[in-house]
Each structure stands twice: as C-alpha cells, then as structure tokens.
Structure 1
Amino acid sequence: MNTPQPETLYVDSDETTGYPNSPLPVLIYRDVIDTPDPEARAATFEAIFKRHGWPPSWRYHLYDFDHFHSTAHEVLGIFRGQARARLGGPNGRELMLCVGDVLVLPAGVGHASLEADDDFCMVGAYPPGQNPAIERGDPAQLEAAKARVASVALPENDPVGGSLTSLWRQDA
C-alpha cells in the first residue's frame, strides 16, 4: 500500500444552494491501492479503514444527486470503475475518481456522481459514533446545517494513515 501526500481541495459554503461545505479541506489520495482484483481492493480498503479507526459501513456507488452529511465525516475508497464527481453542491468543482483513489470528505461537503462506469463502486466508512444523515441543500436551513457541521468531532486518525490529523487540526 502506498500512502501518498493528499491533494487538498477547499470548498466554500454556497449560500445560493444551501450547501454548508467546510473550512476543512477535502483530502484526495491517489493510487493508494494497486491490487488488480476489485474484491481484493475492496477488502484491502475495508481493512485499512478499520485499522485506522474508521469502521467500514458499505459498498455502493456514489449517488447521482448532490447531497452532504452534516453529522459525519466520510471516507470513500474506489475499488471498481471510475466516475466524474462534483464536490461542493450544484455549483461545485468536478474531479475524476479512479480505482485505488481515496476521498476524505469533511462533514458538510456536498458530493455527487455526474457520470460513472456501470460497475463503479466504493467502500464507505465513518469515524466511530458518527452517523451520516443524507441532506440536500436548502438555503433556508443553511445556518442550522453549518451549526451541525461545526459540532462534528474531528476524528482521531486519518482513515488511510496519512496526514488528515495535521491538515485538519491546523485548519480547525
């Protein structure tokens, strides 16, 4: 397993669409796993996340609608296919997610699949005690969503053993 330095992406709150996003950066780890078998990749992501205190919760695709979790941070490990995703809500930024990549989303960051391979699939996990409410932007509820996001505890560990703790703690 290779744990490269992550790309960081800052996503500001979007008043017009009601997406709180986060002052913490999204972390994008590229090519974390290069195992050729998709099932082995999924199992490896699950083992890595679990070892770093983020119990795996599911294997699934990325929803094709913009949404966010105001009550949990989320990690996504891509084990099959690729997708063009958007981060930050309807006015957000696009990026490609490929096999072996890991995306660490701070609570509040909007995300959606814009286009994906038919077999695109990820492992998802959350820090202990955090349960992800699925929410869609509502400008009338933005301040309440921001308050929920601000109250989500920072995780003790990076889900892949990288630099989340130093990057998020210095920004918090």
Structure 2
Amino acid sequence: MPEPQTRLFPPSHGVPNNPSLPVLIYKGALPADAGAMEAHIGANGWDCRWRDGIFDFHHFHSTAHEALAIARGHARVRLGGEDGAEVALHAGDVLVLPAGTGHMCLEASDDFLVVGAYPPGQDYEIEKPDEALTDRRLATIARVPLPSADPVGGRSGALVRLWKA
C-alpha cells in the first residue's frame, strides 16, 4: 500500500479548508478502472455515489469527507482555495479530502473520469467560498465524524493513523 502525500491548508478567501486533518494524495494506488475502484472503495466501507469530473470552480463540502478516485484520464486540480496548491492527477490516483477542503478542476483530458465516494451516513452539499460564513462552516466541519476506514487502505490505511480515526 503506498504512503500518501499529505497537505494541510489554512482558510483561503472564503474556503474554510480543514484546520486539523490533512488531504491525502495517493499516487497510483488503485487500478485505473471505475468498477474496480468502486468495488475496492466500497469494500473499505465508503459509499461510491457518482462518476463524473470535478467542477471547474472553487467548492467544498462542510458536511462530509470525500474521496475522489481517478478512473480515467488526467487533470490539474487546485486544492485549498485560491491560496492552495496545484496537483496533477492521473488514472489510478486517489484524493481523500477532509470536510471543508476546497477543490476545483483547472484542466482535464477529454476522457477524465472520477469516482466520488463518502463515508456512510455523510451527505455532501456543494458550497462556494464566502468569507462571511467561514466561522460557521468551520464549526460545522468540526462536527463531521471521522471515517472508521481509509477508502484505499481500509482499517489499516494511512487515514486511520493520520486522522486518528
């Protein structure tokens, strides 16, 4: 099991990010096949809910953690809002975004396909940056329960260790 890269982002222009949980970036962690990814992530207790791309505007989810598994193609994605970082993603990579983490697609190949997954019982809302709401959103983020397993590594995955789930 590959060890993920980790990134922690402070609030950025109305994107709250997550003050205590790092983003996990798994490079080449899973087979580049949507069905195989859904089976693997589902076996680790996460609910795969959609197949699509990543929105081309800054957004985040204050009420849910999110796993984005790249099933096909490649993209450049900005994480953490305007002051965040650009990440290159390729088929087989998996991002695990703690609640509140801003993300947007900057550029993607025509065949880019993502599998989106969430811990059981967590529903996401698509939220846009708003500095006036940052404190309220940070309070919501703090109440989101930690998942009991990593979508890539299960109960022995890095998320359990790094997020102290």
- The separation in 2 between residues aligned to 1:130 and 1:34, in whole angstroms, is 26
1:169 aligns with 2:161: no
Q: 1:136 aligns with which of 124, 128, 135?
A: 128
Residue 102 (structure 1) aligns with:
94
Per-residue CA deviation, residues 96-119 of structure 1 (Å, 9 max, x unaligned), is 010100000000000000011111
- Tell me what 1:32 maps to: 29
Does structure 1 residue 89 correspond to structure 2 residue 81? yes
- Kindly report which structure 2 residues correspond to 1:19-168, keeping only aligned pairs within 5 A, or say none: 19-22=15-18, 23-34=20-31, 41-161=33-153, 162-168=157-163
- Please state how far the C-alpha of 1:34 moved relative to its aligned partner: 4.1
Tell me the TM-score normalized by structure 2: 0.94
Give 3-state SS (helix, strand or coil) of 2:21's partner.
strand
Q: Give, in angstroms, the shift of residue 55 of structure 1.
A: 1.3
The whole-number CA distance in structure 1 between the counterparts of 2:51 and 2:81 is 23
Give the corresponding residue for 1:38.
Answer: none
In the aligned structure 2, how far is the partner of 1:153 from the partner of 1:73? 9
State the distance in 2 between where 1:26 and 1:10 align.
6
Give the distance between the partners of 2:109 and 2:3, measured in 1 at CA. Answer: 27
Structure 2: distance between partners of 1:47 and 1:11: 30
Deviations 1:73-97 (A, max 9, x none): 0001101110000001122110101
**Percent identity for Structure 1 against Structure 2:** 52
Query: If the length of structure 1 is used for normalisation, what is the TM-score?
Result: 0.91
Separation in 1, partners of 2:107, 2:17: 22
Residue-by-residue CA offset, 1:140-171 (whole Å, 9 max, x unaligned)? 0000110111110000000111210110118x
In structure 2, C-alpha distance between the alignment counterparts of 1:155 and 1:33, rounded to whole Å: 20
Task: Identify unmatched segments of 5+ residues in structure 2.
Answer: none
Query: Where do 4+ consecutive residues of structure 1 move more than 4 Å?
Result: none
Residues 41-62 of structure 1 show CA distances to partners (whole Å, capped at 9, x for unaligned) of: 1111101111011011000001
- SS of match in other structure, 2:14: coil
CA distance in 2, matches of 1:151, 1:135: 17
